[in-house]
Structure 1
Amino acid sequence: MAKYLVIVESPAKAKTIKKFLGSNYEVIASNGHVRDLPKSQMGIDVDNDFEPKYITIRGKGDILAQLRKEVKKADKVYLATDPDREGEAISYHLSKALKLDDKKYKRITFNEITKNAVKNSIKQARDIDMALVDAQQARRVLDRLVGYKISPLLWAKIKRGLSAGRVQSVALKLICDREKEINEFIPKEYWTLSAMLVPEKAKRSIEFKYMGNGSDKEEISSRAELDHIIETIGKQSFQIASIKDSERHKKAPLPFTTSTLQQEASSKLNFATSKTMRIAQQLYEGVEIKGRGSIGLISYLRTDSTRISDEAAAAAKDYIIKNFGEDYTAGIPRADKPGKKIQDAHEAIRPTDITLSPVVIKDQLSREQFRLYQLIYNRFLASQMAEAVYSIKTVKAEAAGYRFQTSVSKIAFAGFTTVYNVDNEKSEHIAGIKDLNEGDLLKLEDFDEKQHFTQPPARYTEALLVRTLEELGIGRPSTYAPTISTIQNRRYITKENKKLYVTELGEAVNQIMEQAFPVIIDVNFTANLESLLDKIGEGAIEWKVVVRNFYPDLDAAVKKAESELQSIKIEDEVTDEVCDECGRNMVVKYGPHGKFLACPGFPECKFTKPFFEKTGVPCPKCGGDIVIKKTRKGRRYYGCINAPECDFMSWAKPSKEKCPVCGSYMVEKGNKLLCSAENCGYSRDNTEKEKQA
Structure 2
Amino acid sequence: MPKNLVIVESPAKAKTIEKFLGKDFQVESSFGHIADLPSKELGVDVDNNFEPKYIVDKDKKALVKKLKDLAKKADTIWLASDEDREGEAISWHLAEELGLEKSKTRRIVFNSITKSAIQKAIENPREINYNLVNAQQARRVLDRLVGYQLSPVLWKKIKPGLSAGRVQSVAVRLIVEREREIEGFTPEASYRIKAAFKTESGKVFEAKLSKAFSSKEKAEAFLQENIGADFSVAKLDKKPAKKSPAAPFTTSTLQQEASRKLYFSVGRTMQVAQRLYEAGLITYMRTDSVNLSKEALDAAKEAITSNYGKEYSEVRNYTGKSKGAQEAHEAIRPTDMKLQSPSLERDQSKLYELIWKRTLASQMSDAQLERTNVRISANKHQEEFTANGEVVKFDGFLKVYLEGSDDEDAEEQEGMLPAMKVNETLLNEYISATERFTRPPYRYTEASLVKKLEELGIGRPSTYAPTISTILNRGYVEKGTIEGVERKYTQLILEEGTVNEKNLTETIGSDKGKMVPTDIGMIVNDFLVSHFTNILDYNFTAKVEEDFDEIATGDEDWQKVMKSFYKDFHPTVLDVEENAERASGERILGEDPKTGKPLLVRLGRFGPMAQIGDAEDEEKRFASLLPDQSITTITFDEALTLFELPRKLGVYEGEEVEANVGRYGPYVKFGKKFISLEKGESAFEVDMDRAIELIKAKQLADAPIAHYEDEEVTKGVGRFGPFIKWNGLFINVNKKYDYDNLTKDDIVELIEAKKQKEIEKLIQEWPEEGIRIEKARWGRHNILKGKVKVELSKDVDATKISLEEAKALIEKKAPKKKTRAKAKTKAKK
Output the amino acid matched with 1:68: K
CA distance in structure 2 between the partners assigned to 1:41 and 1:633 by the alignment: 37
Q: Which moved more, 1:79-88 or 1:52-61?
A: 52-61
Partner of 1:557: 572
Output the amino acid matched with 1:508: I
Partner of 1:404: 385
The answer as to whether partners of 1:112 and 1:300 remain within 8 angstroms in 2 is yes
Output the amino acid matched with 1:610: S
1:5 matched to 2:46: no
Output the amino acid matched with 1:643: F
Output the amino acid matched with 2:286: R
The answer as to whether partners of 2:233 and 2:426 remain within 8 angstroms in 1 is yes
Q: Structure 1 residues 10, 531: closer, same or farther in 2, change over 3 A?
A: same
CA distance in structure 1 between the partners assigned to 2:634 and 2:340 by the alignment: 59
The answer as to whether partners of 1:615 and 1:625 remain within 8 angstroms in 2 is no
Output the amino acid matched with 1:310: K
Deviation string 1:121-141 (CA, Å, 9 cap, x unpaired) is 111111100000000001010
Q: CA deviation at 1:595?
A: 5.0
Output the amino acid matched with 2:395: A
SS at match of 2:159: coil
Q: Structure 1 residues 404, 126: closer, same or farther in 2, change over 3 A?
A: same
Following superposition of structure 1 onto structure 2, how do residues 551-590 of structure 1 map, counting pairs within 5 Å? 551-565=566-580, 568=581, 590=604
Q: Which among 304, 315, 322 is matched to residue 320 of structure 1?
A: 304
Identity of aligned residues (%): 44
SS at match of 2:533: coil
CA distance in structure 2 between the partners assigned to 1:320 and 1:26 by the alignment: 39
CA distance in structure 2 between the partners assigned to 1:2 and 1:35 by the alignment: 26
Partner of 2:550: 535
Q: Structure 1 residues 386, 631: closer, same or farther in 2, change over 3 A?
A: farther
CA distance in structure 2 between the partners assigned to 1:271 and 1:380 by the alignment: 19
SS at match of 2:186: coil
Q: Which moved more, 1:521-530 or 1:186-195?
A: 186-195
Output the amino acid matched with 2:399: T
Deviation string 1:557-580 (CA, Å, 9 cap, x unpaired) is 111102213xx478999x9xxxxx
Q: CA deviation at 1:210?
A: 1.2
SS at match of 1:110: coil
Q: Structure 1 residues 489, 569: closer, same or farther in 2, change over 3 A?
A: closer
Q: Structure 1 residues 412, 102: closer, same or farther in 2, change over 3 A?
A: same
Partner of 1:335: 318
Q: CA deviation at 1:297?
A: 0.5
1:643 matched to 2:622: no
Partner of 2:755: none
Q: Structure 1 residues 427, 512: closer, same or farther in 2, change over 3 A?
A: closer
Partner of 2:464: 480
CA distance in structure 2 between the partners assigned to 1:41 and 1:460 by the alignment: 35
CA distance in structure 2 between the partners assigned to 1:643 and 1:365 by the alignment: 50
Output the amino acid matched with 1:529: V
1:610 matched to 2:610: no
Q: Which among 256, 263, 274 is matched to residue 256 of structure 2?
A: 263
CA distance in structure 2 between the partners assigned to 1:548 and 1:97 by the alignment: 27
Runs of at least 5 residues in structure 2 that lack an aligned partner in the other structure: 406-411, 481-511, 589-599, 612-620, 646-660, 667-679, 688-829
1:240 matched to 2:281: no
Following superposition of structure 1 onto structure 2, how do residues 16-31 of structure 1 map, counting pairs within 5 Å? 16-31=16-31
The answer as to whether partners of 2:624 and 2:663 remain within 8 angstroms in 1 is no
Q: Which among 316, 340, 343 is matched to residue 357 of structure 1?
A: 340
Partner of 1:304: 288
How high is the TM-score relative to the length of structure 1? 0.80
Partner of 2:355: 376
SS at match of 2:20: coil
CA distance in structure 1 between the partners assigned to 2:583 and 2:169 by the alignment: 23
Q: CA deviation at 1:387?
A: 1.1
Q: Structure 1 residues 490, 569: closer, same or farther in 2, change over 3 A?
A: closer
CA distance in structure 2 between the partners assigned to 1:54 and 1:47 by the alignment: 16
Following superposition of structure 1 onto structure 2, how do residues 85-100 of structure 1 map, counting pairs within 5 Å? 85-100=85-100
Output the amino acid matched with 1:335: Y
Partner of 1:519: 534
CA distance in structure 2 between the partners assigned to 1:97 and 1:458 by the alignment: 49
Partner of 2:519: 504
Deviation string 1:280-305 (CA, Å, 9 cap, x unpaired) is 0000011xxxxxxxxx0000101111
1:56 matched to 2:56: yes
Q: CA deviation at 1:58?
A: 2.9
Q: Structure 1 residues 572, 77: closer, same or farther in 2, change over 3 A?
A: same
Partner of 1:392: 371
Output the amino acid matched with 1:428: G
Q: CA deviation at 1:222?
A: 2.6
Deviation string 1:362-405 (CA, Å, 9 cap, x unpaired) is xx311000000010011001101111122233222111221112
Q: CA deviation at 1:442?
A: 1.8
Q: Structure 1 residues 448, 616: closer, same or farther in 2, change over 3 A?
A: closer
Q: Which moved more, 1:420-429 or 1:17-26?
A: 420-429
Deviation string 1:559-615 (CA, Å, 9 cap, x unpaired) is 1102213xx478999x9xxxxxxxxxx997645755599xxxxxxxxx997357795
Deviation string 1:494-528 (CA, Å, 9 cap, x unpaired) is 11332001011111111210121111000000100
How high is the TM-score relative to the length of structure 2? 0.68
Partner of 1:277: 270
The answer as to whether partners of 2:111 and 2:328 remain within 8 angstroms in 1 is no
SS at match of 1:263: helix
SS at match of 2:167: helix
Q: Which among 244, 252, 256 is matched to residue 251 of structure 1?
A: 244
Q: Structure 1 residues 587, 512: closer, same or farther in 2, change over 3 A?
A: closer
Output the amino acid matched with 2:451: R
SS at match of 1:228: helix
Following superposition of structure 1 onto structure 2, how do residues 157-306 of structure 1 map, counting pairs within 5 Å? 157-202=157-202, 205-211=204-210, 218-286=211-279, 296-306=280-290
The answer as to whether partners of 1:5 and 1:78 remain within 8 angstroms in 2 is yes
The answer as to whether partners of 1:625 and 1:641 remain within 8 angstroms in 2 is no
Q: CA deviation at 1:623?
A: 12
Q: CA deviation at 1:536?
A: 0.4
Q: Please provide the CA RMSD for this pair.
A: 3.2
Q: CA deviation at 1:12?
A: 0.7
Following superposition of structure 1 onto structure 2, how do residues 664-675 of structure 1 map, counting pairs within 5 Å? none
The answer as to whether partners of 1:305 and 1:343 remain within 8 angstroms in 2 is no
SS at match of 1:19: helix
The answer as to whether partners of 1:300 and 1:346 remain within 8 angstroms in 2 is no
The answer as to whether partners of 1:283 and 1:373 remain within 8 angstroms in 2 is yes
Q: Structure 1 residues 201, 299: closer, same or farther in 2, change over 3 A?
A: closer
CA distance in structure 2 between the partners assigned to 1:173 and 1:572 by the alignment: 16
SS at match of 1:48: coil
Partner of 1:490: 474
Output the amino acid matched with 1:411: V
